Amino acid sequence: MKINVLYKNITPDEPLKVFVEDRIGGLEKFIGQGPIEARVEIGLPSKHHRSGRIYYAEVNLKIGGKLLRATCQHEDLRNAIVDVKNELQKQIKKFKDKKRDTSRKPQV
């Protein structure tokens, strides 16, 4: 799995990059084979926010020709990343079920 991490309005550091690669890279066991590319964008929506620091995480996951996308906002950056991972995990399961169901349709 190829993971591209982009940072917006925050300074990148190595432990955060390792955390992102660990969480998002863990989705690979649900996907299986094929070319997989993940574009992860994390950061602050703006330099200032009325209700304090609100972080966001957004992941665009390309599986073959399909695109799965999830976003999440949270007060803690690591919790936002975990929430995005959980959302993508649900989408992957749904995608695989659809793929399996279409193969079971009778031929006309």
- pLDDT of the residue at 28: 83
Give the pTM.
0.82
Domains of the chain in sequence order: 2-103 (3.30.160.100)
Of 96, 83, 36, give the one whose Cα is nearest residue 56. Answer: 83
What Cα–Cα distance (Å) separates residue 22 from each residue in 30, 78, 98?
14, 12, 27
- pLDDT of the residue at 97: 80
**How far, in Å, CA of 84 to CA of 70, rounded?**
6
Q: What is the mean pLDDT of each run of 10 residues along the chain (108 residues)?
A: 90 92 87 84 79 87 89 93 94 81 64
Taken in order 10, 16, 17, 20, is the CA torsion positive or negative? negative
**How far, in Å, CA of 41 to CA of 7, rounded?**
6
**How far, in Å, CA of 38 to CA of 87, rounded?**
14
**Alpha helical stretches, state H, 26-76:** 28-31
Greatest pairwise CA separation for the chain in angstroms: 59
